[in-house]
A and B are shown apart, each in its own frame.
Chain A
């Protein structure tokens, strides 16, 4: 059921209004690709983007952020947490990335609330945009059941116009009162008609057919497949090519691991404790003082990542640990491909 219809110019006007209140981050064309970037005007966004090279996770979980600042004074110290709460709107988030953000939300909420993430998240509004067809080759979001999202956004836009039309007409679904208020307070758009609903149904039917299945098994069969594959020789065989460069981790929207580092100024009396993205493919990730490494070989690290994505995260959170965006596969200069790995493992049994 649609909540509202918006024309493209209406949407841009709404975004421009939003820009008065929030930093706007959305897809921008650069180097012939799309990237999530901060813009000042709605027209700088390109909502017809196919996919963004990197997910929007950096807007919520930045590559490096300060946890607290400290000061050492006469023998003791004081420390002050740094909570960065710039109101933000992520405009143009695809369903896969919405699923990934839901996972981050869960992880940073679970057990102990991590306010560095959660405060930023609370100040972030998400305007989703649905994909009617795969954004690019190699994605397996349909297999992961993440090519559509029914929650995790404030507003979802369905680009309902025919592909030939010059300007899309968006079917709008509200996810939260924040999203609804944005559209309604803005007094833009109109109430959907029965025709709109029919177009929307048609859109959904087309969509189902448009996504090819890449995996030989269903997402919920992956944990069992991996259970059987712990000792497969495939890990080592594939990882022979692995640079341990971590590009797969760092471009993945569901990777949330981080390192913690201290930085000081030249006087040494003040400083910051920072967290920065880390990745389980990096050699030192599981190394302890004295040099023992719990995952010393690229093969064990590759296995760890794949298990996390397809089994352990789901096991711990009930949410998909991989959203099928294939960013890891594209980022890997060694052309190590997760779909290929799953399918090869399936062959073994």
Chain B
């Protein structure tokens, strides 16, 4: 029996679902190996008995919360895809606005922390229900996470093939630097750029450094120890405060801050 697959979207850019359609070379094989039964972005029919549900986007409204619970109920395996679903993603930046200040990842409404809402909607702000932006694991149990902004489509494929072959799927437990070395990319530190690679989970094939751009940490922090080391190194070796780098790390994973030292 082919596994029945669904692809859902919460608050996000839907780039991760789109990435699945960008697996052009493998798409027909994929469609041969699984049954896609629910994918709003690409199809009209929708079914609700689902083996593996993929969700992109963060939970950021009361509606999202309801939906993700619904997904959980109807999917045997629930997989968060992309940084929004795994880490909160870029949506969490809204918590670093105006009165909230850099550390105030507070609930909406506290300390005028919905300044972001007013900025966009003015006195109509109340019309737009919104909650703290969170990864879906903050609301429901998630079986697997495939982080990345966007999700790494090759990793998605590797995930599906592992499942089909009965291999346990595991995210790399090492930093992006490993992949830079394998690709033979010149380390950005040699160009004086503080790259987030040493503290970021690999699996993206170090694509950003390969294209001359520093790793922005979109796959999340690889380990607490690495972050502790970063704090020490930045201060002692580079004369930079960790806080500045945290500002960068926040781009896709502000929600991780709860775990930061």
Contact = CB atoms under 8 A, between A and B. Distances in A.
The answer to whether A and B belong to the same complex is yes
B174 A35 contact: no
A247 B33 contact: no
Interface stretch (A96-104, A212-220, A277-285): A277-285
Contact of A283 (B32, B158, B177, B223): B223
B181 A331 contact: yes
B177 A282 contact: no
A241 B228 CA distance: 8
B181 A241 contact: no
B225 A298 contact: yes
B198 A333 contact: yes
B209 to A, nearest CB: 11
Contacts of A244: 174-175, 223, 225-226, 229
B186 A282 contact: no
A32 B229 CA distance: 29
A264 B161 contact: yes
Given A247-B187, A265-B29, A277 B181 contact: yes
B229 A330 contact: no
B164 interface: yes
Nearest to A331: B187
Contact of A35 (B173, B182, B184, B232): B184
A241 B173 CA distance: 18
B20 interface: no
B229 A240 contact: yes
Contacts of A335: 233, 237
Main secondary structure on chain A at its contact with chain B? loop
Contacts of B30: 266
B161 A243 contact: no
Nearest to B163: A268
B161 A265 contact: yes
Interface in A261-319: 262-268, 271, 276-277, 279, 282-284, 298
A247 B181 contact: yes
B167 A246 contact: no
Main secondary structure on chain B at its contact with chain A? helix
Interface string B144-159: 0000000000000110
B178 interface: yes
Given A265-B29, A266-B29, A246 B164 contact: no
Given A54-B181, A250-B178, A334 B160 contact: no
B199 to A, nearest CB: 7
A33 B184 CA distance: 12
Contacts of B33: 266-267
B181 A246 contact: yes
Interface in B215-254: 223, 225-226, 229-230, 232-233, 236-237
Contacts of B164: 264, 266-268
B202 to A, nearest CB: 9
A53 to B, nearest CB: 6
Nearest to B186: A31
Contacts of B184: 35, 53-54, 58
B177 A333 contact: yes
A262 B175 CA distance: 21
B135 interface: no
Most buried by A among B26, B173, B183: B173
B189 interface: yes
A64 B33 CA distance: 26
B178 A268 contact: no
B186 A246 contact: no
Nearest to A335: B237
A243 B226 contact: yes
A35 B175 CA distance: 22
13 contacts: A31-B191, A35-B186, A242-B229, A244-B223, A244-B229, A246-B174, A246-B177, A246-B178, A264-B167, A266-B26, A277-B178, A279-B178, A283-B223
Which 7 residue pairs of A and B lie closest in terms of their CB atoms, listed nearest first? A250-B181, A63-B182, A243-B198, A245-B177, A245-B175, A266-B33, A264-B165
Given A58-B184, A245-B174, A247-B177, 18 more contacts: A35-B184, A240-B229, A243-B198, A243-B199, A247-B178, A247-B187, A262-B165, A263-B161, A266-B26, A266-B160, A267-B32, A268-B165, A283-B174, A284-B173, A284-B174, A298-B225, A334-B198, A335-B237
